[in-house]
Amino acid sequence: MADTTNNSEVVPGENERLEELGRNCYAYSSDGCSNTGVVVGERGVLIVDGQATPEHAERVLQKVRDITDKPIKQVILTHFHADNTLGAQVFEANEIIASDLTRRMMDTRGVEELHVSRERFPALFSGLPVDAGVNNPTMTIASSMTIDLGGLEVRLMHLGRGHTMGDLMVWVPESGVIFAGDLVQSSAAAYCGDAHLADWPRALDRVAAFRPVALMPGSGRSAIGASAVATAVENTRDFITTLRDAAEACVEQSLGLKDTFNAVQDALAPRFGSLTAFTENLPFNVARAYDEALGLDQPQIWTRERCADLQDALNGIVPTAIVDETADVVTDEILVEPDTIEEQPAVEEASENQVPENQVVEEIEAVEETESADELDTEQSSLVSDSDFAASLVLDSDDNALLEDDELLDLSSEDIVEAGQDDQHTSAEQKDGELENEQAEKVLEDAR
């Protein structure tokens, strides 16, 4: 039986450790928590990702104080998820930095992300104050930025869509260390609920282009040594492509979500089933892969109601709904036991007012009783117009600290992996990601 909650017996925060990845670079990790990176320069410290709660962030801060008393200058948020961001204020940094697209996702999805995270991971978020809100960055960047910590250069880069639309990677060239966030995993299963699966492998190519000798993933064990890093990147790629291809094959066969879940689980489990969080993440991973295979380029917002609908669908209780075509929102919902449903193809032509059963769980967005249909239309329009938003970043490069000079990166031509010309997006559904990919290519081209 599929379950969207975390039933792990791991106690978050146990077995904490601060591991040296390279000169002046460290990775903090503990059971059940996201990782936090630490970079120490002559003038100060940079933190990568801020933990799930102030309580967990305080434990990181204690470990940092064991190795240095220098002030913390910046906290970098690699993406918008609650388990990486809500403890950031504890470090009292001069700036909390994220990408422009991450800030956009915090604005449109952050509140629901917080609610869902509390429900999915009650033990991890148990110390979070009841009135806690989204922890927004104080500064955002469009695609890349260089920070001088005093004798140590740190580079922030948005390399395209992957784990989320706005992922940042942190690169310390002097030490050959990358802090990859959840773009790369080593001992844990990737979470793909907000992912862009078609684009993710290209982002991994760009990570590999830097030829790092150590890499801190979003959670779990770090990869130390060039061979270990290459293995982590390739295993992440294999996980993503297996998930994507299996879901696409199921949609081509007109299978419903539950059958797709079973098929994808069979495809992934033999190789990846032993990874941490594999079972907990699988329902969300399959739901997103199924959506993307159906042509939904922008991930749907995860709400508590949508999580419940997903669990019902995977456990055999199929939600059906009537759609108000003028408002484009669900106006009624009935849960029907599977025994009462006649056999029919999973993907079929729907009548003007009826959504096919197998697609409903991907199309239902939770509607607050106090919201009007017009407000919902406005919100949904903003979620699918990220290409327009990204385009505005190019016009506003000064405000967003977009660096375009030849000194942005130091890599030689041998370090760069060229992206193939034949894999550019051309479909209407994929155009929202083209500008982010172009900006990522520019970062690599400037490095030459």
Residue 133 has pLDDT above 50, yes or no: yes
| 125 contact partners, CB below 8 Å, separation of at least 6 | 52, 53, 82, 86, 117, 118
pLDDT bucket at 367, cuts 50 / 70 / 90: very low
pLDDT value, residue 326: 35
Calculate what percentage of the chain has a pLDDT beyond 70: 69
Question: Model confidence over 377-399: pLDDT tens digits?
Answer: 433 333 333 333 333 333 333 33
Calculate what percentage of the chain has a pLDDT beyond 90: 67
Positions of E strands within 1-76: 17-22, 25-29, 36-40, 45-48, 72-76
Cα end-to-end span (Å), the chain:
51
> Alpha-carbon torsion 144, 69, 212, 412, what sign?
positive
Residue 285 has pLDDT above 90, yes or no: yes
pLDDT value, residue 9: 73
Length of the chain as a residue count: 448
Q: What integer is the mean pLDDT of 306-317? A: 92
pLDDT value, residue 444: 61
Question: Model confidence over 99-120: pLDDT tens digits?
Answer: 999 999 999 999 999 999 999 9
For 281, half-sphere exposure in the C-beta direction (CA atoms, 13 angstrom radius) is 23
Residue 425 has pLDDT above 90, yes or no: no
pTM of the model: 0.74
Question: Model confidence over 12-49: pLDDT tens digits?
Answer: 999 999 999 999 999 999 999 999 999 999 999 999 99
Residue 170 has pLDDT above 70, yes or no: yes
Q: Which domains, from first to last, does the chain contain? A: 15-222+384-448 (3.60.15.10), 299-372 (no CATH)
Cα gap 99→368, rounded to integer Å:
29
Question: Model confidence over 315-366: pLDDT tens digits?
Answer: 987 553 333 333 333 333 333 333 433 443 433 333 344 444 444 334 434 4
pLDDT bucket at 445, cuts 50 / 70 / 90: low
> Alpha-carbon torsion 277, 280, 281, 285, what sign?
positive
Question: Model confidence over 193-222: pLDDT tens digits?
Answer: 999 999 999 999 999 999 999 999 999 999
pLDDT bucket at 1, cuts 50 / 70 / 90: low
pLDDT value, residue 82: 97
8 A C-beta contact, residue 286 and residue 247: yes
Q: What is the average pLDDT value for the chain, to the nearest integer?
A: 80
